[in-house]
Amino acid sequence: MRVRERTVRRAARGFTLLELLVAVALLSVLAVLTWRGMDSVLRGRDRIVSASDELRSLTVAMAQIEEDLRRSWPIRLLGLPEPSISFSIATDREPPSLAVLRETRGSDAVQVQRVIYRLRDGVFERGFSAWAAPSPDGTQQVPATPFTWQPILRDVQSVEFRGWLDGRGWLPAASLAPLLAAAAQVPATPAAAAGAARPMPQVTGVEVVLMSRGERIARVFAVAD
Instruction: Dump the DSSP string for 201-218.
Output: --EEEEEEEEEETTEEEE
Would you say how long the chain is, in residues? 225
Residues 6 or more apart in contact with residue 133 via CB below 8 angstroms: 80, 81, 142
- Residue 15 in any domain: the answer is no
Report which DSSP code applies to 78.
G
Confidence bin at 14 (pLDDT 50/70/90): low
- 87 within a domain of the structure (yes/no): yes
Separation between Cα atoms, residue 29 and residue 169, nearest integer Å: 66
Q: What domain range is 59 assigned to?
A: 52-222
Quick one: pLDDT band at residue 189, thresholds 50, 70, 90? Answer: very low
The pLDDT of residue 26 is 84
Instruction: Flag whether 10 is in a domain.
Output: no
Instruction: Tell me whether residue 96 is in a domain.
Output: yes
Q: Give the model's confidence band at 144: pLDDT under 50 very low, under 70 low, under 90 confident, else very high.
A: low
Of the listed ranges 2-11, 72-81, 114-123, the least confidently predicted one is: 2-11
pLDDT(213) > 90 = no
Would 122 be classed as within a structural domain?
yes
Q: Is residue 21 part of a domain?
A: no
Which residue has better confidence, 225 or 216? 216
Specify the pLDDT at position 149: 94
Check residue 83 and give its pLDDT.
Answer: 87
C-alpha distance from residue 191 to each of 77, 133, 147 (Å): 15, 19, 34
Greater pLDDT, 134 or 125: 125
- Looking at every residue in the chain, the average pLDDT score rounds to 80
Assigned domain for 190 exists = yes
Q: How many domains does the chain have?
A: 1
pTM more than 0.85: no
Confidence at residue 134, expressed as pLDDT on a 0 to 100 scale: 62
pLDDT tens, 155-166? Answer: 899 999 999 988
- Give me the percent of the chain exceeding a pLDDT of 90: 32
Nearest Cα to Cα of residue 203 among 184, 223, 173? 223
Instruction: Give a yes or no: residue 70 inside a domain.
Output: yes
